[in-house]
């Protein structure tokens, strides 16, 4: 896909969008690649994020998928927009192993109000090798109002 | 639904299943009602769990939905079983407000290997009033092997 | 749920909405109960609708789920609205057996533009007994423009 | 993806699998490309398949997505296997226009029992130009027993 960003400072916009979400900080997420229609998050694996077998919890994998689809959508919106998740679906195919979860979100169709996205979720090993572990798709709504609106 | 548990100690099983998941501890989740085919989690709202507007992050709502469907499934399996999320879908309908997120998972169809579940996600206010904020459905796989397998 | 219809003639509206969809005719669908926020379709089982084992095709079950969620949404919209499916998810739990597929759609949250719905899909036997075979949830968009716009 | 088929006659297997599904005949579907892990269906647009505005019904788009993911899965299974849809999700992004719906299914992860797939759904115009209109993902179960089991 070859989308045209509406905001020339889309990278700074995504950085602020990322930094403004405390939950991503709690997970220890890091922002990676940011391109028009694409964004990546990286979450180093650690014990606090696991389920009963020591694997990354599926709720983390799904939650990061939702978040990175929002970040991908954020690359294409005007600077005045806010983004809210509407729905998402994830198929958890195999345990996420290695050093980190790599989440790659992509906008498939940027609508006026709804952005349809996909995410690929990888286990990333020390050598930087990616192993696809989960796939997601979802809808992100673009709404008016700055992303940094005061907390209610 | 009126399901018959295979494990007479299903409540203790679900308590161990809950306690064995570090991610639920990171979220601050608490185990609530446990009945055959039904389980509830409660997550007190706090700043670390929010997105850019101070609302509960959709990734938390979805992740807890996945987790509580697993807990509902855990009420119906033999003591030797382990449970793994396969897929889930969530529709985020309105911001979760109040004092806590209340997640209610229910088994809709307990298969031999796959348990089909739904979850209702509520905002819970100080008076205990429930407001439905998101709905989910998903598939949990029942696999052999104890839930308390050592962490890799 | 206890929703208030915006259109006092909502039943006639749903009947026209149903009759205007040739695909429902191809399936042999019949309109059943219509109440505020709820609609039912009934599809008599026949060989043309089956998959390789003689069971109702999962694509029919899913397609009728999408359609009946639209009909449920149609009970709550103004007479000037049109309805378009945005997304849906279905879990196929067991083969649909009996005499007919019974599809029951319900609006869970009627938004200004997006209606979040669930559908329960049953096999219906000769005695009218319902057996739950699939569950769905989805999003229907309410857009301007009459439902009976001329075919392009 | 570069999957290895277990059945050297996978193309003939998919042709029989396709021909054995009466619902695909009712839709007027045609089998297109068949490669290891990939299959295509083509459904010429016609009035019987439309919704109230003359567009292809979303229930058709979703149902064909489910079917073509099954066909993609069928390229990778042993000759003794049968395939059943477990769940699928579709995002309908824009009306399917042109001469035909083109459905392209792909296996993302072939498991021992569950095959995780994606589908891209295109409107195909007279010049063969593809326009992406919907995206899907889903789970297909591989079960024992021939695909041509007698109709119950």
CATH number at residue B88: 3.10.129.10
Q: What is the reported pLDDT for A146?
A: 55
Whether C96 has a pLDDT exceeding 70, the answer reads yes
Cβ–Cβ of D135/A89 closer than 8 Å? no
Which CA distances in Å does B12 have to A57, B67, B84, C17?
Answer: 21, 17, 19, 51
Question: What's the mean pLDDT when you consider all of chain D?
Answer: 94
pLDDT tens-digit readout, D60-94: 999 999 999 999 999 999 999 999 999 999 999 99
Residue A92: list chain B partners with CB under 8 A. 84-87
Q: Is C80 helix (H, G, I), strand (E, B) or coil?
A: coil
Q: Look at residue D150 and tell me if it is in a domain.
A: no
Task: Tell me what the mean pLDDT of segment A78-83 comes to.
Answer: 95
pLDDT tens-digit readout, A114-147: 999 999 999 999 999 999 999 999 999 999 875 4
State the smallest CA–CA distance between residue C47 and chain D in angstroms: 7
Contact of D72 with D142, CB cutoff 8 Å:
no
State the smallest CA–CA distance between residue A91 and chain C in angstroms: 12
- The span from the CA of A55 to the CA of A51, in Å, is 6
Task: Tell me what the mean pLDDT of segment B3-16 comes to.
Answer: 95
Cβ–Cβ of A108/D89 closer than 8 Å? no
Residue B108: list chain C partners with CB under 8 A. 91, 93, 132, 135
Q: What is the reported pLDDT for B149?
A: 42
Residue C9: HSE in the Cβ half-sphere, 13 Å Cα cutoff:
7
pLDDT tens-digit readout, D16-46: 999 999 999 999 999 999 999 999 999 999 9
Searching chain D, which residue's CA lies closest to the CA of residue B137?
Answer: D87
For Cα atoms D124, D128, D130, give the angle at the middle one, nearest 5 degrees.
45
Task: Tell me what the mean pLDDT of segment A17-29 comes to.
Answer: 98
Whether B107 has a pLDDT exceeding 50, the answer reads yes
Q: What is the pTM of this model?
A: 0.95
Q: Look at residue B17 and tell me if it is in a domain.
A: yes
- The span from the CA of C87 to the CA of A138, in Å, is 9
For Cα atoms C36, D56, D46, give the angle at the middle one, nearest 5 degrees.
130
Task: Tell me what the mean pLDDT of segment A28-51 comes to.
Answer: 98
Structure tokens at A116: 């349809």
Residue B3 pLDDT level (bands cut at 50, 70, 90): confident
Element holding B15 (H helix, E strand): helix B10-19
Interface test with A, best of D66, D73, D87, D93 (most A CBs within 10 A): D93
Residue D116: list chain A partners with CB under 8 A. 91, 93, 135
Residue A148 pLDDT level (bands cut at 50, 70, 90): very low
Tell me how many domains chain C contains: 1
Tokens 């709804």: give the residue. Answer: A114
Whether B85 has a pLDDT exceeding 60, the answer reads yes
Q: Using CB atoms, which residue from A111, A135, A139 is nearest to D108? A: A135
Task: Tell me what the mean pLDDT of segment A16-34 comes to.
Answer: 98
Of the candidates B61, B133, B53, the residue with the CA atom closest to the CA atom of residue B93: B133
ipTM of the complex: 0.93
Q: Is D118 helix (H, G, I), strand (E, B) or coil?
A: strand
Cβ–Cβ of B108/C139 closer than 8 Å? no
Residue C87: list chain D partners with CB under 8 A. 89-92
Searching chain C, which residue's CA lies closest to the CA of residue B133?
Answer: C109
pLDDT tens-digit readout, B119-132: 999 999 999 999 99
Q: Look at residue B1 and tell me if it is in a domain.
A: no
A105-109, C130-134, C147-151, D116-120 — which is least confidently predicted? C147-151
Total Cβ atoms within 10 A of residue B78: 12
The torsion angles phi and psi of C125, rounded to 5 degrees, stand at: -95, 180
Task: Tell me what the mean pLDDT of segment B88-105 comes to.
Answer: 97
State the smallest CA–CA distance between residue B109 and chain C in angstroms: 7
Structure tokens at B94: 């309105």
pLDDT tens-digit readout, B15-73: 999 999 999 999 999 999 999 999 999 999 999 999 999 999 999 999 999 999 999 99
Q: What is the reported pLDDT for C119?
A: 98
Residue B86: list chain D partners with CB under 8 A. 114, 139
Total Cβ atoms within 10 A of residue A8: 9
- Residues with Cβ within 8 Å of B127's Cβ and at least 6 positions away in sequence, in order, are none
Searching chain D, which residue's CA lies closest to the CA of residue C141?
Answer: D92
- The span from the CA of C84 to the CA of C107, in Å, is 14
Which residues from B are below 8 Å from A when comparing CB atoms? 17, 20-26, 47-55, 57-60, 62-67, 82, 84-92, 97, 147-152
pLDDT tens-digit readout, D39-57: 999 999 999 999 999 999 9
Question: What's the mean pLDDT when you consider all of chain C?
Answer: 94
Residue A12 pLDDT level (bands cut at 50, 70, 90): very high
Of the candidates A10, A81, A42, the residue with the CA atom closest to the CA atom of residue B53: A81
Give the neighbours of chain A: at least 3 Cβ pairs within 8 Å. B, C, D
Residue C146 pLDDT level (bands cut at 50, 70, 90): low
Give the neighbours of chain C: at least 3 Cβ pairs within 8 Å. A, B, D
Which CA distances in Å does D146 have to C47, D7, D151?
Answer: 19, 14, 12
- Cα-Cα-Cα-Cα torsion D107, D108, D111, D113, nearest 10 degrees, comes to -50
Q: Look at residue B4 and tell me if it is in a domain.
A: no
Residue D148 pLDDT level (bands cut at 50, 70, 90): very low
Structure tokens at C4: 């208030």
pLDDT tens-digit readout, C15-67: 999 999 999 999 999 999 999 999 999 999 999 999 999 999 999 999 999 99
State the smallest CA–CA distance between residue B139 and chain D in angstroms: 9
Contact of D150 with A125, CB cutoff 8 Å:
no
Expressed as residue numbers, the domain containing C35 is: 10-144
Q: Look at residue C1 and tell me if it is in a domain.
A: no
Q: What is the reported pLDDT for D144?
A: 87
Residue A149 pLDDT level (bands cut at 50, 70, 90): very low
Residue D2 pLDDT level (bands cut at 50, 70, 90): confident
State the smallest CA–CA distance between residue C110 and chain B in angstroms: 9
State the smallest CA–CA distance between residue D4 and chain C in angstroms: 24
State the smallest CA–CA distance between residue B14 and chain A in angstroms: 12
Cβ–Cβ of A84/B66 closer than 8 Å? no
Residue A108: list chain D partners with CB under 8 A. 91, 93, 132, 135
Q: Look at residue D54 and tell me if it is in a domain.
A: yes
Residue A77 pLDDT level (bands cut at 50, 70, 90): very high
Dihedral sign for Cα atoms in the order B16, B19, B21, B24: positive
Q: Look at residue A133 and tell me if it is in a domain.
A: yes
- Residues with Cβ within 8 Å of A53's Cβ and at least 6 positions away in sequence, in order, are A95, B82, B147, B149, B151, B152
Cβ–Cβ of D21/C51 closer than 8 Å? yes
- Residues with Cβ within 8 Å of B6's Cβ and at least 6 positions away in sequence, in order, are B76, B77, B78
Q: Look at residue A32 and tell me if it is in a domain.
A: yes
């Amino acid at each position: 896909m070859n989308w045209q960003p509406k905001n020339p400072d889309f990278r700074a916009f995504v950085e602020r969008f990322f930094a403004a979400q405390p939950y991503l900080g709690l997970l220890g997420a890091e922002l990676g690649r940011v391109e028009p229609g694409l964004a990546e998050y990286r979450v180093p694996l650690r014990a606090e994020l696991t389920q009963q077998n020591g694997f990354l919890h599926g709720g983390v994998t799904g939650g990061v998928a939702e978040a990175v689809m929002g970040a991908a959508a954020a690359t294409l919106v005007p600077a005045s927009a806010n983004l809210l998740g509407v729905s998402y679906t994830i198929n958890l195919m195999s345990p996420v192993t290695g050093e980190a979860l790599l989440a790659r979100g992509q906008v498939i169709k940027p609508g006026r109000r709804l952005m349809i996205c996909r995410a690929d979720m990888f286990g990333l090993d020390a050598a930087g090798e990616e192993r696809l572990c989960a796939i997601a798709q979802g809808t992100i709504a673009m709404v008016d109002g700055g992303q940094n609106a005061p907390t209610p």
